[in-house]
Structure 1
């Protein structure tokens, strides 16, 4: 059984800040957002978590293994180096979407994202060491079959992007509605999903749905672990088995078995 710890990262009062005292240059805002995401990814990643950018002013992190002190240190680090601050809402649940709902509710109760008086809120509770287990996180790493041959080497970049994004959007909605999983585009033709304890049949249903609805063929490697890094790295190994064996769904195996 999974027990996912998710942290909603929300920039405080960002909308009003972007137009005060007058609208700021768009590329300056894009630069700030991309640097902020990079710093968050480095901080959380160094503690074996994952961060996904979603809308950039809001980001979602899988933070199993990070405690309250880690979250406070992250807020201090960002507040010391950026002209904006961040609030963090933490939620824990076997269902990733329920964990995110819990983290979101904590921030919404503290005040609006555009409330000038809301600063560096830290709501919710992290998992204690006693509550943690080796299968708390399930990560699925999806990959488009032959994206280079079908899209990159045949279409212009924008049309390739449309095809990949249609597949992503279809998968994202399906897994959210059917399995309470959260899916994030991570570049190229790769999608990472944070999932509850799903079965091989669940993943096959998702792949079939995307093929029928969007015409995009997927394969997926699935891993479990105590942290996002552990589960995600196992998923990467499982995806390599898909590539080597020509299969659609593979769950992580011990490295010794992979070597054989």
Structure 2
């Protein structure tokens, strides 16, 4: 059984800050958000974690490779270099949804996201090293089959974008509703899903559902590891097996799985 650690990263008092003392230029806000996201990707990724931008003012990280001190250091680094600070809620669970709910509860209990006095909260529980190594996290890496031939080289760029987004939305809803998994668009035609223990048939059913609902055909590689990085790299290699073999689902999981 996997055990996922999720960290919800929330910019403190961001809504009011964007219009104080007067509304800030959108281009400046987009630049700040993208730089903060890239910075968190680098810092959390250095410790084996993944970060997904969600709504940008809220970012969701898979932090199985990070302990309490790692979180403190990242939070301090952001406060020292940005005009905004961040709060972090940490949760764990047998499913990613359970872990995210716990992480979200930490911040909601501490106060509103738009409360100017609620700043730099850090709360929740991290996995101990033995549990993290023994149980690990499962990551599935989806992409669209022959996206170049089907979309990129045949229709305009916005129509391609719509098709990819529809596929992502259908997959995201299905994996969350059926399997308590968290799925994130990561650019191009790629979606990364953080999942509990699931059999190959669960991924096959997801692919059939997306194809039937929006006509987008997917393939997926699945991996598991002590950190999101380890699981994600295993999933990438499994996805390459899909491309090489012409299969829809490939798993790079421990031999006893």
State the TM-score, normalizing by the size of structure 2: 0.97
The 1:253–1:127 alpha-carbon spacing in structure 2 relative to 1, beyond 3 Å, is closer
User: Secondary structure, in 3 states, of the residue corresponding to 2:117?
Assistant: coil
Cα deviation, 1:50-85, whole Å, max 9, x if unaligned, reads 000010000000000211111011110000000000
The equivalent of 2:82 in structure 1 is 82
The equivalent of 2:114 in structure 1 is 114
1:201 aligns with 2:206: no
User: Secondary structure, in 3 states, of the residue corresponding to 1:133?
Assistant: helix
More displaced 10-residue stretch of structure 1: 125-134 or 218-227: 125-134
8 A Cα contact 1:13 1:116, kept in partner: yes
- In 1, Cα distance between equivalents of 2:182 and 2:65: 19
User: Secondary structure, in 3 states, of the residue corresponding to 1:210?
Assistant: helix
8 A Cα contact 2:2 2:135, kept in partner: yes
Taking only aligned residues, the RMSD between alpha carbons, in angstroms, comes to 0.9
8 A Cα contact 2:89 2:122, kept in partner: yes
Structure 2 regions of 5+ residues with no counterpart? none
State the TM-score, normalizing by the size of structure 1: 0.96
8 A Cα contact 1:144 1:189, kept in partner: yes
The equivalent of 1:235 in structure 2 is 235
Shift of 1:150: 0.9
1:139 aligns with 2:129: no
- In 2, Cα distance between equivalents of 1:189 and 1:88: 29
The equivalent of 1:44 in structure 2 is 44
Cα deviation, 1:147-204, whole Å, max 9, x if unaligned, reads 1111111111111000000000000000000000000000000000000000000000
Matches within 5 A, 1:56-75: 56-75=56-75
User: Secondary structure, in 3 states, of the residue corresponding to 1:220?
Assistant: strand
Structure 1 regions of 5+ residues with no counterpart? 255-260
- In 1, Cα distance between equivalents of 2:87 and 2:201: 38
Shift of 1:253: 6.1
Structure 1's consecutive aligned runs of 4 or more residues displaced over 6 angstroms after TM superposition are: none
Cα deviation, 1:208-239, whole Å, max 9, x if unaligned, reads 00000010000000000000000000000000
